[in-house]
Amino acid sequence: MEIIKLRDDYIKLGQALKAAGLAESGVDAKFAIQDGLVKVNGEIEYQRGKKLVDGDVIEFDGEIVKITK
């Protein structure tokens, strides 16, 4: 499980995928999200700009990423 520490109050989903190394670019993140391949807290998420806060969990391509403060 990868952990991303927040520097601010939140991080956007597309940025989190890049920070975790699950997407090489914003375009890759955008298409993965649009195609319904990314889950946030167990629900498929289609908004690249979804704000993730402390405790949120991302699932993508068999990887799990947790957002912490």
Q: What are 14-60's pLDDT values in tens digits?
A: 999 999 999 999 999 999 999 999 999 999 999 999 999 999 999 99
Cα(37)–Cα(54) distance, integer angstroms: 22
User: Could you tell me which residues come within 8 angstroms of residue 64 by beta carbon, excluding any fewer than 6 positions away?
Assistant: 1, 2, 57, 58
- 55 sits in the region (left: phi over 0; alpha: psi -120 to 50; else beta) called left
Q: What is the pTM of this model?
A: 0.93
Q: Which domains does the chain have, with CATH numbers?
A: 2-68 (3.10.290.10)
Q: What is residue 68's predicted lDDT score, i.e. its pLDDT?
A: 97
